[in-house]
């Protein structure tokens, strides 16, 4: 009976650990998405790995603000994340890998000329310089895919003019330093092959500047790495040259070299 009681306690503790971890991960995910977007969200299902550190989210939907008649702004078919478990209890959460498939982005311009994208927190923060408090998250590798963008123009009446753009985006990025950069990247790259910014009068510089800063940081990192490698290479070359210069003297000490003048005597 005692053994059964011990097994039961262990089982409860393990179950409690996984339930607690799942709640932490779900809360972090929801808070991050809300902070980036400022929108209400709906998730069909979340699968959290038991023995592997991953989260798989299916059909994540971000809704437009109530002022817009169209309900959905972002329809994300799949969000897959591999994370560093230790980082969950640190000051900065590290995501080793993120795969994000944006099935559809719907850009709406209402009858008053207001564009729904301008309601995103990432856009507001670029306009005002003040954004929502963001969780400290870094992404090592991002695989971003996007299917299509719909543009709905209600400025001429209740029946919108709808334009569809097939973007077929499939790109990979590394070292994304914060969630705002992620949000700007998603918007910028999804609209890149479309005419939405011109049709809607949306200021793309609000998101492109953030991406440019991120790219500049990556370039600086690469430059620093190149400089470090060059310095290491130079140091190794100097040491090798010095060692080669000393080699004959070392061999003289180890292996006596006959004096030819003495041999002829």
DSSP 210-252: HHHHHHHHHHHHHHHHHHHHHHHHHHHHHHHHHHHHHHHHHHH
Indicate whether 256 belongs to any domain.
Answer: no
Residue 109 three-state SS: strand
* 154-176 burial: b if 16+ Cβ within 10 Å, else e: beeeeebeeeebebebeeebeeb
Give the pLDDT of residue 219: 40
Element (H, E) at 28: helix 2-37
Calpha distance 148→40 (Å, rounded):
21
For the stretch 85-137, pLDDT in tens is 888 788 888 999 999 999 999 999 999 999 999 999 888 876 665 555 666 88
For the stretch 168-224, pLDDT in tens is 999 999 999 888 889 889 999 999 889 999 999 998 888 887 676 665 444 433 444
State the residue for tokens 């954004």: 131
Calpha distance 55→134 (Å, rounded):
20
Domain count across the chain: 1
**Cα radius of gyration rounded to whole Å, the chain:** 29
Give the pLDDT of residue 16: 45
Higher per-residue confidence, 265 vs 121: 121
**In sequence order, what E strands does 20-176 have?**
41-48, 54-63, 72-83, 93-109, 137-153, 161-176
| pLDDT over 60 at 4, yes or no | no
Calpha distance 263→228 (Å, rounded):
53
**In this predicted structure, which of 29-33, 215-219, 238-242 has the lowest mean pLDDT?**
215-219
Domain that holds residue 87: 2-224
Indicate whether 213 belongs to any domain.
Answer: yes
- The pLDDT confidence band at residue 75, using thresholds 50, 70 and 90, is very high
What number is the average pLDDT over the span 128-150?
A: 83
Whole-prediction pTM value?
0.70
User: What count of other Cβ atoms lies within 10 Å of the Cβ of residue 28?
Assistant: 17
Judge whether 189 and 171 are in contact, CB under 8 Å: yes
Higher per-residue confidence, 190 vs 30: 190
Element (H, E) at 16: helix 2-37
Higher per-residue confidence, 175 vs 25: 175
Judge whether 41 and 30 are in contact, CB under 8 Å: yes
Give the pLDDT of residue 189: 93
- Token pair listed for 215: 């790219």
Calpha distance 40→62 (Å, rounded):
6
Residue 38 three-state SS: coil
Calpha distance 26→31 (Å, rounded):
9
Indicate whether 57 belongs to any domain.
Answer: yes
Give the rounded percent of residues in the chain with a pLDDT score beyond 70. 66
Phi and psi at 235, nearest 5°, equal: -65, -40
Indicate whether 161 belongs to any domain.
Answer: yes
- The pLDDT confidence band at residue 9, using thresholds 50, 70 and 90, is very low
Closest to 157 (Cα-Cα) out of 207, 110, 102, 116: 110
Indicate whether 120 belongs to any domain.
Answer: yes
State the residue for tokens 């009068």: 201
Indicate whether 263 belongs to any domain.
Answer: no
The mean pLDDT of the chain is 77
């Amino acid at each position: 009976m005692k053994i059964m009681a011990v097994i039961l306690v262990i089982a409860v503790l393990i179950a409690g650990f996984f339930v607690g971890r799942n709640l932490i991960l779900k809360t972090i995910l929801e808070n991050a998405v809300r902070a980036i977007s400022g929108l209400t969200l709906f998730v069909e299902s979340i699968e959290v790995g038991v023995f592997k550190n991953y989260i798989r989210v299916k059909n994540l939907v971000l809704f437009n603000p109530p002022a817009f008649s169209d309900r959905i702004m972002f329809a994300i078919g799949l969000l897959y994340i591999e994370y560093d478990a230790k980082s969950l209890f640190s000051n900065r959460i590290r995501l080793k890998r993120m795969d994000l498939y944006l099935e559809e982005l719907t850009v709406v311009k209402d009858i008053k000329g207001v564009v729904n994208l301008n309601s995103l927190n990432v856009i507001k923060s670029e306009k005002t310089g003040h954004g929502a408090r963001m969780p400290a998250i870094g992404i090592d590798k991002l695989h971003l895919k996007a299917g299509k963008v719909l543009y709905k123009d209600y400025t001429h009446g209740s029946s919108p003019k709808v334009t569809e753009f097939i973007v077929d985006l499939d790109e990979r990025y590394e070292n994304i330093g914060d969630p705002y950069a992620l949000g700007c990247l998603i918007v910028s790259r999804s609209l890149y092959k479309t005419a939405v910014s011109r049709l809607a009068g949306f200021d793309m510089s609000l998101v492109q500047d953030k991406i440019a800063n991120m790219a500049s940081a990556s370039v600086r990192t690469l430059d620093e790495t190149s400089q470090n490698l060059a310095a290491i290479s130079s140091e190794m070359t100097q040491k090798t040259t010095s060692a080669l210069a000393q080699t004959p003297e070392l061999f003289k000490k180890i292996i006596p070299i006959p004096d030819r003048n003495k041999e002829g005597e």
